[in-house]
Amino acid sequence: MEYYKRIGDELLKRKLRSSGAVLIEGAKWCGKTSTGLQAANSVFYLQDPDKRSMYKKMADVQPSLLLKGESPLLLDEWQTIPVLWDAVRFSVDQRQAVGQYILTGSATPLRDRQSDEIEHTGTGRISRMLMRPMSLWESHHSSGEISLQALFDKPQKEIFAENPLTIEDLAYQMCVGGWPGNLFLNKEDALETAYNYVDELIQWDIHRVDGTEKNPDRVRSVLRSYARNISTMTSATTLMKDVRANDISITDKTLTAYLTALRRLFVIEDVKAWKPSLRSKSAIRTSNKCHFVDPSIAIAVLELNPSSLLSDFNLFGYLFEDLCVRDVRVYSQPIRGEVFHYHDSTNLESDMIIRLNDGRWAAVEVKLGGKEEEVAATNLLKLVKTIDVGQTKSPSFLMILTGGQYAYRRADGVFVVPIGCLKP
């Protein structure tokens, strides 16, 4: 099966050159193992049903037996044998060399349950790398004519590109999601993947992540509530009211536990609020925005398909923002960027703030079509005027991310870029 190159390939190589071991974390099926294999010289598949019990016995007797192999050694789904964390950390200390191990995992072990098996954090020995589902550029659906890094690094007087994706194409890509296995399926079968993902999540994964049984109907209800509030600043109180419409017995503690489990499985990934210094006395709203790691999960939970998305452009817009957040997060990683959102008490907002670790930043508004372009540009320009440039740098650029046809620079300097033209 052909391997589609991932942005994570180079990120992994970079980390292996500076760390004794690298932990690749991320949602199930997003391609962690395949990416790890591109850099590994040997591998232990710890969930191999033919060898799993033997591996656990080896770990009970002498964990170092599972570290025998040519470096970098890949330990796939390491969290099934948590004692390997300390074994890897100790081995790195002993070898005093970088690039020794690659660990992959689709869940984060709880410290309180695993404290007898994991005694050290791994700081200084094991670095972390988050993988998300494939972006449109990685799956070869974006032309990649507009580079996010170039927008930060070089002043762009003019840009031009044509989006290869129609609105119908976008609806389909949002429904199938960025799951690498879909690249080799026909369209009808690929649409089933997200439904299968949600079913396995509800029936199996969410119970296994912390060892506690959860009501499948309740899990689905929580997921549906989260999906209905996607791309919005929704409080736990609002989510609770929504869930209680169909489940009056759920408690705050239970809802928190379910959301925590979904975060530990890398299924939901909220966007945090950006808190710059302002010229005005406007209060910055600090609530997170609800987002999934991939829009296909929300779409499957809501039992939608490309046709139903195209018949409800309001909902399409919220889910399109989720797609854009996924891709911009992926494209920001190589330049050490993080994605936030901005919203203040005057209701001035920006759907995304891309902030690099060197202090540079850019503001992005997401609009599915071109009719709202003027309002988006006005908001972005107004946001710049509210920032105290004595405390926070001026933005590197302002951008409207769209599902439209062309990429170009407006007369006011704001870039309009279709998501189907963007790359790292």
Q: What average pLDDT does range 20-33 have in this prediction?
A: 97
Q: What is the pTM of this model?
A: 0.94
> Does the pLDDT of residue 117 top 60, yes or no?
no
pLDDT confidence tier of residue 122, bands split at 50, 70 and 90: low
Percent of the chain with pLDDT over 70: 96
Q: Which of 110, 128, 129, 62 is nearest to 90 (CA)?
A: 62
Q: What average pLDDT does range 318-329 have in this prediction?
A: 98
Amino acid found at 158: E
d(Cα 87, Cα 109) in Å, to the nearest integer?
Answer: 16
pLDDT confidence tier of residue 369, bands split at 50, 70 and 90: confident
User: 3-state DSSP helix/strand/coil percent for the chain, to nearest 5?
Assistant: 40, 20, 40
Predicted local distance difference test score (pLDDT) of residue 277: 85
The DSSP-derived string for 269-304 is: -PBEEP---BSS-PPBP-PPBP-BSSHHHHHHHTT-
Return the structure tokens found at 151: 């927008």
Q: Average the pLDDT over each of 20-24, 244-248, 303-307 and give the range with the smallest value.
A: 244-248
Q: Tell me if residue 332 falls in helix, strand or coil.
A: helix
Q: What average pLDDT does range 47-51 have in this prediction?
A: 92
Q: What average pLDDT does range 240-247 have in this prediction?
A: 90
Burial level of 352, CB count in 10 A (0-12/13-18/19+)?
Answer: buried
Q: What average pLDDT does range 376-391 have in this prediction?
A: 92
Predicted local distance difference test score (pLDDT) of residue 390: 79
Q: Which of 81, 86, 85, 90 is nearest to 59 (CA)?
A: 81
> Does the pLDDT of residue 115 top 60, yes or no?
no
Predicted local distance difference test score (pLDDT) of residue 29: 95
Predicted local distance difference test score (pLDDT) of residue 118: 59
The DSSP-derived string for 333-395 is: GGGTEEEEEEEBTT--EEEEEEEETTS-EEEEEEESSSTTHHHHHHHHHHHHHHB-TTTSPPP
Return the structure tokens found at 76: 């796939």
Burial per residue of 28-61, b for 16 or more beta-carbon CB atoms within 10 angstroms, e otherwise: bbbbbbbbbeebbeebbebeeeeeeeebeebbee
Q: What average pLDDT does range 335-355 have in this prediction?
A: 96
Strands (E) across 156-208 are located at 161-162
d(Cα 102, Cα 123) in Å, to the nearest integer?
Answer: 15
